[in-house]
Amino acid sequence: MINKKETSDKVAREAAKILQDPNASDENKSVAASALAQARGKVKFVAVKGINFDALKSKPRVEPGEPIPEDINTKVIADLLVNGDIKEA
């Protein structure tokens, strides 16, 4: 039997908020990062400042307000959220 459960948009948005919260515990951030990974693609993010993605040939730089490319690794997304470099669109 195939598990067809999907992480909801609401859970993904809450995960993004937790990752941006400087007071969230490491355990909560770990769970949030996992939830975000499961929901990747449902929640869109934009750059708060210019970000270089040297590994991407299709879009090596994202300017403030531009969407973050879909092929960015979830771990990178989580780190960018924690640092305040991106936000939910």
Beta strands in 1-89, from DSSP E residues, in sequence order: 45-47, 51-52, 61-62, 86-88
Residue 6 scores a pLDDT above 90: no
Residue 44 scores a pLDDT above 90: no
Report the distance separating Cα 85 and Cα 35, nearest Å: 20
Rounded (5°) CA angle 37-86-58: 80
Report the distance separating Cα 77 and Cα 64, nearest Å: 15
Treating both helix axes as pointing N-terminal to C-terminal, what angle do 26-39 and 74-83 enclose, rounded to 10 degrees?
130
AA letter at 50: G
- Average pLDDT of the chain, as a whole number: 83
What pTM did the predictor assign? 0.69
Q: What is the per-residue pLDDT across 61-73, written as a single tens digit (0 to 9) for each?
A: 999 999 998 888 8
